[in-house]
Structure 1
Amino acid sequence: MIKIVLLGAGNVATHLYKGFKNASNIEVVQWYNRSKKAIEAYKNDVNITDNISDLVDADVYLIAVNDDAIEALTNSLPFEKRLVVHTSGSASLYDIDMKHYRGVFYPLQTFSKGVDLDFTTVPICIETLRKKDFKILEILGQSLGCTTYKVNPKQRPALHLAAVFVNNFTNQIYRIAHEITEKHGAEFDILKPLITETARKVQEVSPYMAQTGPAKRNDKKTIKRHLKLLDNPHQEDIYKLMTESIKKTHGR
């Protein structure tokens, strides 16, 4: 049985708690957050605290807080030479105070508190300094049903950057599409099969090969019509930027 103390109460921490709670060989022995109110709803299921000095013994101290808070939080931990890991995709392993055994347990997925998550679809990127710590974190990931990957300090930030493009930026594009359909009285739901097929297609071919549309074929008349339809300057700028990027990629 691997004992965990969870630190933080955001989207990632909440989903990890729920996932570990259902794992047979993992026990969350304590949940810390600087505001106990954020985790009050779980007080009957797990020992909760807002006092950093009251942290109990555990095999892993798993930190799921904002990147800017990692260094200060690990500095304040009232012990040393224990395995302390963060869940960030971009923060350095060395942001963790050197008095600890340091590691990263990065679940590369989008997390929203109100949306259920199937952890079997979540890749876990692991980075450690010691081999024995990697094995512990690998077991944590496998206990959730995840596929685990050993990554290095250059690969993990690159994966996080790429994730921003495929998730955060893509979702903003969905938002713009939603605004366009709403403005013209069309149903956004009509686009959902296209969204699904676009995501499915890159499971089989590269994004380069999957590209279609007026920019790739340099359909100037259609591009001109689209730009005329857009009366929001911000949306127009995004359309032009994406169009030029596609043209450059495909030599148009």
Structure 2
Amino acid sequence: MISVLIIGNGNVAAHLVKAFLKVDTISLTQVSSRKLENIPKATITILAVSDDAIETISLKIKNSFVVHTSGSFSMKGLKNTTNKGVFYMLQTFSKEKEVELSNVPFCLEAERDEDYLLLEKIAKAIGKKIYPIDSEQRKALHVAAVFVNNFTNHLYKIGNDICEEYKVPFEILQPLIQETSEKIKTLSPEKAQTGPAMRKDEETIKSHLNLLHKEQQVIYKLITQSIENGN
């Protein structure tokens, strides 16, 4: 039986707790990051807290193996004096939305081989896609994820704003969004690119800019230029 302690009660912690509670070979304990007076012993201690809290909280932990769940925070940023690692799931998590963890990539890192194997074991208990990723690679992955997820979602928000302004249902765009995400499973994003910027259709681009507000124009011009330059 592997004992797992999760510190934190945010979105990532909520999904991990729900998943680990279904695994017979794992004994789970969860504590709030605000209540660290008596930290239970555990084989693996997972800090599912914000990046700016990792150093402070890890300083207080004496358990033998401590990992964090951050995409951008280095493994060496953990301040516990015992063994360190990372248990990063590359996915967007909301408490209100179920996520199928078998589809989620688990990016793992540990100082010692035996600790990595332990992380791999608990990751395989709740998921299927396991990757050995070091801190520098994980930081790059996190930046890439910001582009393909956070920035893309902001563009969805702009698209929704335009639809609302012109009284068009945003749902009309959803099959297009779905097709684009499906297409890049078989084509590289570069080969999947279409649209007026790709065609260098200046008349259409000018027409679009005339329809947009100033803030939207800035984003439209920047992305159009990037596509035209092949960046």
TM-score by length of 2: 0.97
Matches within 5 A, 1:32-51: 32-35=31-34, 50=35
Q: 1:224 aligns with which of 196, 206, 210?
A: 206
Matches within 5 A, 1:75-114: 75-77=59-61, 79-80=62-63, 82-114=64-96
Q: What is the CA-CA distance between 1:181 and the residue it aligns to?
A: 0.3
Q: 2:153 aligns with which of 171, 182, 185?
A: 171
Does residue 234 (structure 1) correspond to residue 221 (structure 2)? The answer is no
Q: 2:57 aligns with which of 67, 73, 80?
A: 73
Q: 1:207 aligns with which of 189, 205, 220?
A: 189
Does residue 20 (structure 1) correspond to residue 2 (structure 2)? The answer is no
Matches within 5 A, 1:107-186: 107-186=89-168
| Counterpart residue type for residue 147 of structure 1 | K
Q: What is the CA-CA distance between 1:145 and the residue it aligns to?
A: 2.2
Does residue 54 (structure 1) correspond to residue 35 (structure 2)? The answer is no
Q: Percent identity?
A: 44
Q: What's 2:230 paired with?
A: 249
Deviations 1:67-92 (A, max 9, x none): 11100101012x25x11000001101
Runs of at least 5 residues in structure 2 that lack an aligned partner in the other structure: none
User: How far, CA to CA, are the matches of 1:136 and 1:88 in structure 2?
Assistant: 18
User: How far, CA to CA, are the matches of 2:229 and 2:40 in structure 1?
Assistant: 56
Q: What is the CA-CA distance between 1:146 and the residue it aligns to?
A: 3.0
| Counterpart residue type for residue 41 of structure 2 | D
SS at match of 1:68: helix
Q: What is the CA-CA distance between 1:19 and the residue it aligns to?
A: 1.0
Deviations 1:124-164 (A, max 9, x none): 00011100000111011111123110012221100011000
User: How far, CA to CA, are the matches of 1:23 and 1:188 in structure 2?
Assistant: 40
Q: What's 1:197 paired with?
A: 179
SS at match of 2:198: coil
Runs of at least 5 residues in structure 1 that lack an aligned partner in the other structure: 36-49
| Counterpart residue type for residue 226 of structure 1 | H
SS at match of 2:199: coil
| Counterpart residue type for residue 211 of structure 1 | Q
* Contact 2:72 2:138 survives alignment (8 Å): yes
Range with bigger deviation, 168-177 or 152-161: 152-161
Count matched residues. Answer: 231
User: How far, CA to CA, are the matches of 2:76 and 2:209 in structure 1?
Assistant: 47
SS at match of 1:88: coil
Q: What's 1:45 paired with?
A: none
| Counterpart residue type for residue 32 of structure 2 | N
* Contact 2:160 2:170 survives alignment (8 Å): yes
User: How far, CA to CA, are the matches of 1:27 and 1:165 in structure 2?
Assistant: 37
Cα-Cα RMSD: 1.1
User: How far, CA to CA, are the matches of 2:33 and 2:116 in structure 1?
Assistant: 28
User: How far, CA to CA, are the matches of 1:146 and 1:234 in structure 2?
Assistant: 42
The list of structure 1 runs, each at least 4 consecutive aligned residues, that deviate by more than 2 angstroms after superposition, is none
User: How far, CA to CA, are the matches of 1:176 and 1:56 in structure 2?
Assistant: 46
Q: What's 1:43 paired with?
A: none
